[in-house]
Structure 1
Amino acid sequence: MALTLILRHYAEGALIFALLTVNAGIGFLQSQNSRKAVELLKKRLRIRAKVLRDGRWILKDAKELVPGDVVKLKLGDLVPVDVFVLHGELSVDASALTGESLPRELRTADAAYSGSIVRRGDATGVVVKTGARTYFGKTVSLVQTARPKSRQQELMFGIVKYMMVLGVAASVLVSGYAIFLHRDIFSILSLITVFLIGAVPVALPAVTTIVQAVGALGLSKKGVLVTRLDSIEDAASIDVFCFDKTGTVTQNRLTVAECRAFAPYGAEQVLKLAALASREEEMDAIDTAILRDAKARGLRLDGCRRLSYLPFSPARKRTEAVVEIEGEKYRVAKGAPQVLWKLCGPLSPRIKTEAENAADEFSARGCRTIAVAVRADGEGGRFRPAGLLALSDPPRRDSGAMIQKIKALGIRPLMLTGDSLAIAREIAGQVGIGDRIRRAEELKGLSHAEQIALIDGSDGFAEVYPEDKFQIVRLLQDEGHRVGMTGDG
């Protein structure tokens, strides 16, 4: 633009300036609108924590917490920093960090990581890490490090490079011919300017920005917030799509997959007993799943009354309730099979075989096994095994269709989950991802070429941590792939 002004080609200079201004203006306005939307979301989702300061409990923004602060965590709280539990018991949902669909039970001396959600219990803890030093903060820094060069930038630079080569070559040839004809220097510079202006696609950035702005507007009508215009082109160039399992492919909600009863009880009786040993107010994932399934099956608890309830704790690993069923009092227990079988004493050979076979079958399918036992209240004595429940986090209804659509677009899906290998294989098979699921630890100790070969021959990886996801994405990028990543964890 400076050269056109020096040569007094004011119209061309003004046109170039206008195009560059339009390009910068559209990009700035879109960025500002997206930034305002993001800032509004941040304000509405501002995290506050109850902290002990000067002997008093006060509410403070999470960003004001420092290592050494004593904080309280209760039901529904988002853990704002990495906390060392001093006393109390918690059940936390750490799926955003690990991808595990089942809650983690924390006791004194355990660590609650930033980004986890308290599903049950309350505790007091001391802040050990904040901000970028937390486990979640390190994950965010990995995401920023893994950001690739924009596809749009590469295309634009490629076009400009080749156009400039042609423009310079043409300028040299024409200038040589002009010198041969003894033309004056200003005429030669004018010719060079013409070729250079023609070589530089000054309108291309503006046109591209306008097209992307229209695309961003169309996406916004579908509920998609575009914070960076060139991300539209980046998304369109993806050839490998990595995604988490929990909450992305699955519902991130436990359900009762199967009920296996031991005689003389039936499946409905076992589920009814399990529902009586659950309480909705506890907001426990397992209790909620059982009560929801009982309601969905239309089980009626008429004639049943819960007299007392003992909630789950990591120490007991079970819930207990004293209930009245048709005038008779019973004590019902629900929890880990190995814990309840101790309450039942030696199992009969038949029930022991049935229980072991059912537990093995549920485990192979990636389900969590919950046992139910019962005895008459007031008699002391041992419990009697009633049955087993298989709990799982089922796929979303549209997951299978989504995977098939991704494949039809020529994009390779790759599942990366923190859940166990059995669960990962079960879900991958149900939605059509594939059965070549491996553990992330299999990548360790391999050469660069062997790691890439293993990833190329896999449909997904299980027992994955955020740093493993970063490594897999980086290896795919090193191989020249355009990689997309979605989901938490």
Structure 2
Amino acid sequence: MAENDFNLKNSSEYLHLSFDETFNVLKSSKSGLSEEEAERRINLFGKNDVLEKKENLLKLFLGYFWGPMAWLMESAIILTVFINHYLEAVLILILLITNAIISFIHNRNSKNAVELLKSKLSIKVSTLRDGKYEKINSADLVPGDIVAVGLGDIIPADLKIIDGELTVDQSSLTGESLEIDKNAGEIVFSGSSVKRGESTCIVLNVGLQTYFGKTIQLVKVAKPKSHQQEVVFLLVKYMFYFSLIVAFVVCVYAIYIQESLIGILTFIVILLMGAVPFALPTVLTILQSVGATELIKNNILVTRLNSIEDASSVDILFLDKTGTITENKLSVSQIIPFGKWSKKDVLLFSALTSARASKDTIDEAIMSEIEKEKISLDGYKQISIIPFDQETKKSESTISDGHEEFKIIKAAPQVALELATGITEDKKNNFSKKIEELSQNGYRSLGILKSSGDNFVIVGLIALSDPPRKDAPEMFQKIKSLGVTPIILTGDNIFITREIAKILGLNSEIILMSDLKKLSEKDQVKLLENAGGVAEVLPEDKYDLVKLMQSNGHSVGMTGDGVNDAPALKQAEMGIAVANSTDVAKSAASMVLVEDGISVIVNAISISRKIYQRVLTWVLNKLSKTVRLLGTLAIAFFITKDIVISVLGTAFLVFANDFVSISLATDNVSPTSYPDKWDIKKISIVSFLIGAPFILEHLFALFVGEKYFGIISLAQIQTFMLLTLIFTSQLKVNILRERRHFWNSFPGKALFYLTVSTMIIFAFMGVYGIFMAKISISAVLFSLIFATIFTFFIDFFKYWLFVRYKI
């Protein structure tokens, strides 16, 4: 069979064709295709996807040489060449290229790791092949396939509805905000999301041949600038302003003492090289790569990279009960018939309101019980069905048994009671009592009604249970130990919610959503901050709850799995789509869990906080180092009227300091037991107070070196100061990395080995005069020992500052 054997049409043209004509054009039938035929059609029409435009790797690499940070480095190169320091210019160029290479490699590795896990999340479609429905990847759909779609699905190709009804949202494709009802014979387009209903459809066109020309990319790796990156770049900007002020003051003094233009430009180059955070792009890239990789190892797909960092600040975690706290495996626990009806009748009628190929967990539980009890549905025909709707809290079907037609309603018990007609007060009380008993025991119940003429009579109750996971209580205690308040959100009644909260060890204060809405915003927040859960929550309420807490200073995490959870997942700082979520929920979330349970959520928070600690260390180190360097150079210039470190020495200092600090991206750190918040004012104050004492240390070391170790010439002074700056920098980063005293934890292997080897290499260079003036071994040892002793005592001051300012 060749492609020209088909006379495929534009998707919209099938609207005017009958079902027989449609089947004829697509050479298919209601029985679907065979696997062999589907394989042939894949070869003819290609996969049901749109090939993404491949990135130009050269263009991507060259992009690392463009931007504010790159411009600063390139400016330093130009100025260095202008003052005839060619070796220094080459060193800065090497820094720039090294930065670009490392960033490029880690960026590619991170993307490859994410793409690998994304393949696990490819959309699955219930497809009729070889006479039976099976889940296949949407990419393997071909024209003529018969598929079943329902609530929560994103339409995987252009389809024509054969039977059933759908309400779809096409806003992501057309911009239309209103939901559209689609009936049998109508077309639904690729990328639309199903808001209500279930139906059987035939695939019309796939891939590039769909009406809109592409399939929606559901799981995407978005890269908006994160709040953490904004804070870091803001701090760097302030640091650069500080260097400009220092440069201006020194230049005014230099002009006053009639310093040469070359001398002034040299000083500016040194200040620029000392202030520019050459390693910052590399550090941030590696941190994101490390974070994404760690999360992937924990079966968490990051679809929005900045969420890795944002998760560290989360202090409120809204958890959808089903699928996260519980196993999302409902089972029928009790069947309670009423009046003349039997347990078999209750179960049979409830099954007749279950849609074919349904993904609804209640329907699956009922059908599983039907199979277990070996109850046959033969002789009954489902004429029409309205699937269960969260808003109406009921489903309804019209049934024919060959003799008569009647309606069955499966509804929340309170709704069933309202719909029942001709029921006595005693029966109402009995029904209500049973509902309350079931609720207090943690069961979810459904009322089953059957039509009798124009009336509906209660057939009975079905009790369902979905108990918490075995590890849930332990995980909830871990969440609370991290300073995060877990709050259950559920559509269940207050009794079930209270029972679940009790099992999990949460606050027994459970709020009804309807009661919460009656309060002022201030009272709502106060109540939620101390609540264990919110009961009878509608899906649309979740978004409002997230916004409420965010607008009152909280960072919010949110778990969800349904279509209507999508707005809340999108809004939250950490939106988590749990395993087996609908496609729409996955597309909205910033993280997607590949396995069930909440232990992975604990891991995500811990990993995020580790990343925060590493970034914080880098920021504290860089800011304090800049204060120390610029302060030392400026004051020494006022005292000696000389530049006490050479341009080449500054280039070595940048090499030794900035690129050793890259290893902080993989340093051994512990997550905090409380949410991390960026406080620019506190961080700036602490950095300045830590950097300032080192200015005195350097000036005192210079005084001792000149008086007792024969450091006389300017070249020797520059060597001595370079070594002093390098030794203190390496030691300082090792005390700043630990929020307690430095001996409370051992640094990561990379940081430790780089620190030791850097100090040994530069000590060797100073003693033997390699690329610098030679000084005595005693002067080198004094510089090292004095830096070590001084840094040791600074650790106590650092610890006091961290406690005082809660760093």
**Scaled by the length of structure 1, what TM-score is found?**
0.62
Q: Is the 8 A contact 1:439 1:464 kept in 2?
A: no
- Whole-Å Cα distance in 2 between the matches of residues 336 and 452 of structure 1? 39
d(CA) in 2 for partners of 1:239 and 1:320? 50
- What is the distance in 1 between the residues matched to 2:471 and 2:252? 66
Select the residue among 350, 369, 380 that pairs with 1:309: 380
- Give the counterpart letter for 1:485 in structure 2: G
Match of 1:476 among 547, 550, 556: 550
Cα gap change, 1:274 to 1:185, in 2 (>3 Å)? same
The residue identity in structure 2 corresponding to 1:115 is S
Residue aligning to 1:80: 155
The equivalent of 2:64 in structure 1 is none
Following superposition, the deviation at residue 25 of structure 1 comes to 1.0
Q: Check 1:456–1:213 CA distance in 2 against 1; reply closer, same or farther (3 A cut).
A: same
Q: After superposition, where does 1:25-424 map in structure 2 within 5 Å?
A: 25-26=104-105, 28-30=107-109, 32-33=111-112, 36-37=115-116, 44-45=122-123, 75-76=148-149, 78=153, 80=155, 89-90=164-165, 114-116=192-194, 121-122=199-200, 150-227=226-303, 229-262=305-338, 270=343, 274=347, 278=351, 282-284=356-358, 285=360, 286-293=362-369, 301=374, 308-311=379-382, 313-314=384-385, 317=396, 335-336=409-410, 351=427, 353-359=429-435, 367-371=444-448, 387-391=460-464, 395-414=468-487, 419=491
Q: 1:429 matched to which residue of 2?
A: 501
Moved more, 162-171 or 419-428: 419-428
Structure 2 CA distance for aligned equivalents of residues 277 and 436 of structure 1: 31
The CA deviation at 1:396 is 4.6
Tell me: CA distance 1:88–1:210, structure 2 relative to 1, closer, same or farther (3 Å): closer
Amino acid at match of 2:96: F
Uncovered stretches (5+) of structure 2, i.e. residues with no partner: 1-72, 128-137, 170-180, 203-210, 387-394, 557-572, 578-584, 589-807
1:16, distance to aligned residue in structure 2 (A): 3.3
How big is the alpha-carbon RMSD for the aligned residues of Structure 1 and Structure 2?
6.0
User: What is aligned with 1:13?
Assistant: 92
Task: Tell me if structure 1 keeps the 8 A contact 2:468–2:500.
Answer: no
> How many angstroms apart in 2 are the aligned matches of 1:440 and 1:12?
67
| Per-residue CA distance 1:49-75 (angstroms, 9 max, x = gap) | 9xxxxxxxxxxx99xxxxxxxx99963
Tell me if the contact between 1:262 and 1:386 (Cα under 8 Å) persists in the aligned partners.
yes
Supply the distance in 1 between the matched residues of 2:289 and 2:420 (Cα, whole angstroms).
Answer: 67
Task: Give the superposition deviation at 1:29.
Answer: 1.1
Asked if 1:438 is matched to 2:509, the reply is: no
Give how far 1:436 is off.
3.1
Indicate conservation of the 8 Å contact 1:277/1:333, yes or no. Answer: no
For residues 248 and 229 of structure 1, the distance between their equivalents in structure 2, rounded to whole angstroms, comes to 22
For 1:424 and 1:106, the matched residues in 2 are separated by: 36
Provide closer, same or farther for how the CA distance between residues 355 and 471 of structure 1 changes in structure 2, counting only shifts above 3 A: closer
* C-alpha deviation, 1:441, in angstroms: 9.0
User: 1:485: Cα distance to partner?
Assistant: 2.3
Q: Secondary structure at the match of 1:369?
A: strand
Paired residues of 2:76 and 2:272 also in contact (CA < 8 A): no
CA drift at 1:476: 0.7
Higher RCO (Cα < 8 Å, 6 or more apart): 1
User: For structure 1, which segment, 236-245 or 356-365, has the greater mean C-alpha deviation from structure 2 after superposition?
Assistant: 356-365
Query: Counterpart of 1:451?
Result: 521
Q: Which has the higher helix share?
A: 2
Q: Which range moved further: 278-287 or 164-173?
A: 278-287
- Report the Cα distance in structure 1 between the residues aligned to 2:475 and 2:186, rounded to whole angstroms: 39
Q: Secondary structure at the match of 2:476?
A: helix
Instruction: Give the 3 Å change call, closer, same or farther, for CA 355–33 of structure 1 in structure 2.
Output: same
* 1:309 maps to amino acid: Y
Q: What is the CA-CA distance between 1:320 and the residue it aligns to?
A: 7.0
Normalized per residue, the structure richer in strand is: 1
Aligned to 1:101: none
Give, in whole Å, the separation in 2 of the partners of 1:348 and 1:317: 24
Contact 1:312–1:318 at 8 Å: present in 2 too?
Answer: yes
Aligned-pair CA distance for 1:368? 4.2
- Per-residue CA deviation, residues 188-208 of structure 1 (Å, 9 max, x unaligned), is 211122122212221233234
- Matched residue SS, 1:282: coil
Partner amino acid, structure 1, of 2:248:
V
Cα drift, residue 17 of structure 1? 0.8
Q: Is the CA contact 1:245–1:416 (under 8 Å) kept in the aligned structure 2?
A: yes
Assess, with a 3 A threshold, how the Cα gap between structure 1 residues 314 and 47 changes in structure 2: closer, same or farther: closer
Query: In 2 relative to 1, CA 253–264 (structure 1 residues): closer, same or farther, beyond 3 Å?
Result: same
Alpha-carbon distance in 2 for matches of 1:199, 1:239: 35
User: Which amino acid counterpart does residue 232 of structure 1 have in structure 2?
Assistant: I
Distance 1:390 1:277, change over 3 A: closer
1:31–1:228 Cα contact (<8 Å) kept: no
Deviation of the 1:469 alpha carbon: 1.3
Q: Residue in 2 aligned with 1:376?
A: none
- Please state whether the residue corresponding to 1:260 is helix, strand or coil: strand
Q: Which shifted more, 433-442 or 25-34?
A: 433-442
d(CA) in 1 for partners of 2:145 and 2:439?
36
**Counterpart AA for 1:116:** V
TM-superposed CA distance for 1:187, in Å, is: 1.4
Corresponding residue SS for 1:225: strand
TM-score, L = length of structure 2: 0.41
The separation in 1 between residues aligned to 2:263 and 2:496, in whole angstroms, is: 71
* 1:259–1:388 Cα contact (<8 Å) kept: yes
CA distance in structure 1 between the partners assigned to 2:343 and 2:462 by the alignment:
8
Greater Cα shift, 5-14 or 306-315: 306-315
Q: Identity of paired residues, percent?
A: 24
| Larger of the two Rg values belongs to structure | 2
Assess, with a 3 A threshold, how the Cα gap between structure 1 residues 416 and 154 changes in structure 2: closer, same or farther. farther
Residues 428-437 or 234-243, more deviating = 428-437
Aligned length: 422
Specify the code of the residue in structure 2 equivalent to 1:484: M
User: CA 1:29/1:424 → structure 2, altered by over 3 Å: closer, same or farther?
Assistant: farther
Q: Counterpart of 1:116 in 2: which secondary structure? A: strand
SS in 1 for 2:380: strand
Letter in 1 for 2:265: L
Unaligned runs of 5+ in 1: 50-60, 63-70, 95-104, 125-129, 323-331, 374-381
Distance in 2 between residues matched to 1:451 and 1:156, nearest whole Å: 33
CA contact (8 A) 2:396 2:407 kept: no
Q: Distance in 2 between matches of 1:207 and 1:159?
A: 15
Q: Match for residue 99 of structure 1?
A: none
Q: Give the stretch that moved more between structures: 199-208 or 451-460.
A: 451-460
Residue 327 of structure 1 corresponds to none
* Partner SS, residue 461 of structure 2: strand
Contact 2:351 2:370 (8 Å CA) reproduced: no
